Amino acid sequence: MRSKQTILIVDDIKENIDVLVELLKKFDVITALDGQSAIDIALQEENIDLVLLDIMMPKMNGFEVCKILKQNPKTTNIPIIFLSAKDKRQDIEKGFEAGGVDYIVKPFNPNELLSRVGTHLELRGYQKDLEARVKEEIKKNLDKEQMIHQQAKQAAIGELLMHIAHQWKQPLSTLGSINILNKARVEEGVLPTLEEFKKSVEKSEELIMFMSDTIETFKNFYKPSNENENYFIYECVLNILSIVEATFYFDNIHIYITFIEEEQTYGNVNEFSQVIFSILSNAREVFRLRKTEKPEIHIRIENQKISIRDNGGGIDALLIDSIFLPYIGSGNSTGIGLYLAKNIVEKNNGIITAANTEDGAIFTIEFITWMD
């Protein structure tokens, strides 16, 4: 950390600079004899805290220098004090209009100059400290955001693996039955006919292919994709239902879907799939926690719009206004699925809302169609 603050003095008269350098010797001082040199120094130096700027200089006056520094993002926050013999009211006003924070008329009182310089350097110190704190908080928030995304991904992968396990349960049971039957026949000395053996192999291949397709669906679900495309919402929903149907059937959850969709939606279909998956998984978890009798999910799809309604008892009145905040949720263990769902929907020019119905919750997603 620097022990001294840095002041850039800009004046085309060397004797004026010498006086200021001596007066401000407790600070780090950099000098420039013309406007362009001052601009070059300000852009190159990282730690200039204040500029003392003369107005009447050849080629480029102080007003022009100030405007250029204020227009550059790198130097826009550096406070500039005009130090000039021009003492007319319109000159002083012009200095403030150009972006100066103060205006000192020559000849100046040394104590007054030191006092004003000290005040603006103190303010500059507070400003830089605040900027550093803001950068630190932004970094913390980014780290937190990454952690939330990672936790959400892990939770969703665990959910998907559970669905795959349910999808595989019946095929594995059937494969086991085929093998047990063939083994028993061989042990009894009853060899299968060629036709029976062929059917047994074909059935096994069919089951293995089904299980392989399940894994492929799982891989595609989380394949990174930054490409947007036109897609039908109902096709996307049907793909998700093909993943979760075995689990929902096992939990005796009935899903009803209706759609009137003639226009496609433009966006990232892979990300949208994750949103639907998150809402459905959230509903299933609510059913489980509340032991809902005859659990149902009703999905309605229109052009660029989908609503997902359940009969799980609704969202707690204390949580409904913060349902999309991280670690809130409406019943699942992490509470981050809906938070990321909101981020994804808004990223794809959509709006997601949550409300309560007579017997449950309803989530609505609507995408905005931009007109040329």
Q: Is residue 134 part of a domain?
A: no
Q: Write the DSSP assignment of 83-142 as a string of letters.
A: EES---HHHHHHHHHHT-SEEEESSPPHHHHHHHHHHHHHHHHHHHHHHHHHHHHHHHHH
Domain CATH code at residue 238: 3.30.565.10
3-state DSSP assignment of residue 297: strand
Task: Extract the tokens encoding 122.
Answer: 């103190």
Q: Is residue 278 part of a domain?
A: yes
Task: State residue 166's pLDDT score.
Answer: 62
Task: State residue 172's pLDDT score.
Answer: 75
CB distance 311 to 129 below 8 Å = no
356 and 230 housed in the same domain: yes
- Positive or negative torsion for Cα 216, 218, 220, 224: negative
d(Cα 144, Cα 139) in Å, to the nearest integer? 8
3-state DSSP assignment of residue 191: coil
Residue finishing a domain among 54, 84, 108: 108
What are the mean pLDDT values of the chain's consecutive 10-residue runs (372 residues total)? 81 92 92 92 89 91 93 91 90 92 91 91 86 79 67 63 66 76 79 80 78 67 72 90 79 92 89 86 88 94 94 86 67 57 87 92 86 43
| Residue-number span of the structural domain to which 85 is assigned | 6-108
359 and 231 housed in the same domain: yes
Task: State residue 1's pLDDT score.
Answer: 46
Residue finishing a domain among 81, 108, 135: 108
Q: Is residue 240 part of a domain?
A: yes
Number of domains within the chain: 2
Q: How far from each other are the two terminal CA atoms of the chain, in whole angstroms?
A: 53
Residue finishing a domain among 56, 88, 108: 108
pLDDT tens digit sequence for 228-266 = 889 999 998 988 887 777 778 878 899 999 999 999 999
Q: Is residue 213 part of a domain?
A: no
Domain CATH code at residue 19: 3.40.50.2300
Task: Extract the tokens encoding 310.
Answer: 């359940």
Q: Which amino acid is at 108?
A: F
pLDDT tens digit sequence for 276-306 = 888 888 898 899 899 999 999 999 999 999 9
d(Cα 225, Cα 273) in Å, to the nearest integer? 12
Task: State residue 78's pLDDT score.
Answer: 92
